[in-house]
Amino acid sequence: MSAVIDPKALGKVAVLMGGASAERRISLLSGQGVLDALRAGGVDARPFDPAERDLSELRREGIARCFIALHGRHGEDGTVQGALELLGIPYTGSGVMACSVAMDKVMTKRLWLAEGLQTPRYVRLVSGAQDLQQEREQIAALPGLLGLPLIVKPAHEGSSIGVTKVTDAAQIPAALAEAAKYDAEVLCEEFIDGQEVTCAVLGSGTHARALPVVLIVAPAEGGYDYQNKYFTDTVQYRCPSGLPEALEREIQRMALASYRALGCRGWGRADLMIRARDARPFLLEMNTSPGMTSHSLVPMAARAAGIDYPTLCLRLLASAALDAQASSSSMGRQGH
């Protein structure tokens, strides 16, 4: 059994929501859901939009801790986390380094591969980093290196923003141009044909645990894109997943291993593909500030594990920490 959390003991709480990233709209939805749940649970919580107010106001208002419901850049990439470290205000989720690395899809892949974790093959392209002839040669080589179809996406965005599935080599330049609208660094990735799943993790260090796997069944039209993720009811989510038990356990193992490899804490959500031809899971990315909207997957997995939405929000808030606190706490546990 988990310890009973006293909402009053958590002090004044700011739910950071909105922000200036391309995922602002989703962040506002996530933040409102969290805010309503915390207030209903007796927490002294208020909204705070870093795009409209300076973070230094948090200290002046006597904020004791922050629930980060920001997504994407300047919220999920370590920058806000670093500011809160300097202000000395504990916050939910992973620390500066884990957020920074997880937001960079290329660095995440490099780290996972070093840890022996399976992830699709990839090529990194940087706009303007080489002469035009080299760039053309590199682009022409992509189908041979990664096969077709392939995926093109910004290296530092989420929520399927700027992502294109390329089925013909002639589509590659347009796909690169679309991704480059959001990021100078573009990730070209092997397409894994199969089922998409996600697996949330709660906790830190040796205490981290994987939640039940969610199987995502997207429509043929649009697939699991930004619109279908958040604004339609055409995507089906299955939790329990209905996958074979051994495969479910392997996905949970990989999610937990990927989470720990990045140094994540508090919570996170790994996205994976199960290759159809051999049922092998491949890690795609790690979300260190997952969505908390009505369509979001962490609350769904938590419900399947017996944790309702208000309890989930309260638990995450109670786990708020600073990097130094989290490190000393982890060392203390290891020493016992």
CATH number corresponding to 102-118+192-335:
3.30.470.20
Higher pLDDT, residue 75 or 233: 75
CATH class of the region 7-92: alpha beta
Q: Which CATH number fits domain 122-190: 3.40.50.12160, 3.40.30.10, 3.30.1490.20, 3.90.1150.10?
A: 3.30.1490.20
Beta strands in the chain (DSSP E): 13-16, 45-48, 65-68, 122-126, 150-154, 164-166, 185-190, 194-202, 209-210, 214-217, 236-238, 267-275, 281-287
User: Quick one: pLDDT at residue 329?
Assistant: 55
CA distance 156 to 72: 8
- The average pLDDT across 244-250 equals 98
Q: Give the sign of the dihedral formed by CA 122, CA 128, CA 130, CA 133.
A: positive
Residue closest to 94 by CA, chosen among 256, 315, 287, 285:
287
Q: Tokens in use for 91?
A: 């916050």
User: Quick one: pLDDT at residue 120?
Assistant: 98
Confidence band of 334 (pLDDT split at 50, 70, 90): very low
Active site residues: 23, 159, 230, 269, 271, 285, 287, 291
In degrees, rounded to 5, the angle at the alpha carbon of residue 123 between the alpha carbons of residues 127 and 76 is: 75
- The average pLDDT across 241-261 equals 98
Query: Does pTM surpass 0.85?
Result: yes
* All structural domains of the chain with their residue ranges: 7-92, 102-118+192-335, 122-190
Q: What is the mean pLDDT of the chain?
A: 91
CA distance 286 to 112: 11
CB 201 within 8 A of CB 259: yes
Provide DSSP, 164-178. Answer: EEE-SGGGHHHHHHH
Whether the per-residue pLDDT at 331 is higher than 60: the answer is no
Confidence band of 289 (pLDDT split at 50, 70, 90): very high
